[in-house]
Amino acid sequence: MIIKTILIEQGLLYTERTFKSGFNLVFSKKNSTGKTTLLRCVLYGLGYNIPGTKNFRMETTSIELVLEKDDNSELVLKRKKPDYIELLKGEEQYSYALPTQLSELHEKLFGTRNVDILNNLLGAFYADQEKGWTLLNRGKVIAGIRFNINELIRGLSDRNCDNLILKKRKVEESLKKHRHILNIAEYRDKIVVDQNSLTGLNYDSERLLKIDQLKVERDTLKKEIKRLNNLMKSNRKTIELIEGMKLVIQLNTGENVCVTSDMIVGANDCIELLKAKKKTLIPQMNEVLKELEKLQLAVKNEEQQQSFFETESLADSFDKKMSTIDIFPEDVKSIIGKLEGEKRLLTKQISDFTNNNNSVTQTMIKTVQKYMAELEVPDAEKISWRYLFTSNLKELSGAILHNTVFSFRLAYILEIEKALGIKLPIILDSPKGKEIDGLNIDKMMQILKRDFPDNQIIVASIYHYVEKENIVLMQEHLLDKFRQSV
């Protein structure tokens, strides 16, 4: 695929740049003239979610990209909004919502439906000036776009282990949750161990429990006093009722006598007994009310005091709740250990499924060895296929890492082209790092000219690298033309 032209518009400002097949150098004599921005605009025009550079906002930019596919057919991409892009192929026109339909767009551009390949294409053919020259086999290409060699190799060898990957993802999510739980459990233990916090918590709990007990005692006494009052009232009414009836009784002597309250045996004694019982309850009630009021006042004063220290109050409340949770660090650590073991097992199963008897892995490592040796990376011939998946980048110095990354990228490109039957553009932003000497850069560029003669190569730099390069000259600003308003 060849990128032929790009039209970039922002308001009344615009620029139109032309690229050719072969080696293209986006060149300026000094930095900060828009070289990186131009490369990012190309990628943005291909549908990628690429951020702008300082003072250049992609979301306000309209881009039209003209491409030539390997079969000489021409495609036009128009991206006038961040979330929408059009593809024109002759009389045919397609529209895609971004980023949800990015894979469908790239299926048209690169001729494959394999998502594992499509998701990792950018990390193969583009090296960003910020992270690109340290991205070896997995990590961030630019912004939120990532590269993963495991996915790429599975895509290139048409191997699918979605079930294992899904299981591993669920285990990783569970691990993340349990590590948060462990933090909570350890914090809870710290609260309990802290003697001052523990004493305060026990004191508060006992005080609240005492208040509840006093309320129950108060209500019981109140109910009993009310019952005694009702009994005394009932007895008095009964006596008054008997007197009011003017009952007359006949004695054994035949004498008629009018019944009075004095004649009712034990009536007054019963009332006096009830009074005495009530009299013993009143001091108990007063004592309970006095203690209850004292405790309730203490609680109220503390609440008022806490209102002046809202942050402290929230923390204290949180600590109190945390202390009641029955989570113990050792139990959580045991679960985490099992999950980590399960993750290791799934990782190994995925790796074995990806690489066992895989010709793509074997061919790729041979290509890497070849270019690393040519770039004089030490012990290149000794590395095995497992080195493709290394995570140990600390042992690689700046120059060695730079050359190793370059070798990996070329291996990725060759395997992708073999699988898809296409030629990818190779886009490199500022390949000359601080620790890379001119000889190393010359070797890298000569490899590109020699082994990738049919690929379009676009390099942004302030240095010249090869003869007969097509120079895309950058002056002061990227947008160098002014469109007259109609």
Q: What's the whole-number mean pLDDT along residues 184-208? A: 66
In 103-184, beta strands by DSSP E? 126-127, 138-142, 145-148
**Helices then strands (H, E): number in the chain?**
13, 16
Which range is least confidently modeled, 95-109, 128-142, 301-315? 301-315
pLDDT at 131: 81
Indicate the pTM of the whole model: 0.70
Q: Which residues pair with 147 in a beta bridge?
A: 139
pLDDT(115) > 90: yes
- Whole-angstrom distance, CA of residue 389 vs CA of residue 150: 8
What pLDDT band is residue 316 in, cutting at 50, 70 and 90?
Answer: confident
What is the pLDDT at residue 314? 72
Q: For residue 342, which phi and psi values (nearest 5 degrees)?
A: -65, -40
Cis amide bond preceding 99, omega within 30: yes
**Predicted confidence (pLDDT) per residue in 423-475, tens digit:** 999 999 988 765 566 778 889 999 999 999 999 999 999 888 888 889 999 98
pLDDT greater than 80 at residue 138: yes
CA distance 142 to 223: 77
Given a cut of 60, whether residue 378 has pLDDT beyond it is yes
- Is pLDDT at 194 greater than 70 in this prediction? no
430: left (phi over 0), alpha (psi -120 to 50) or beta: left
pLDDT, position 198: 43
Strand 457-461, strand 426-429: pairing = parallel
| Distances from the Cα of 88 to the Cα of 91, 92, 356, angstroms | 7, 6, 42
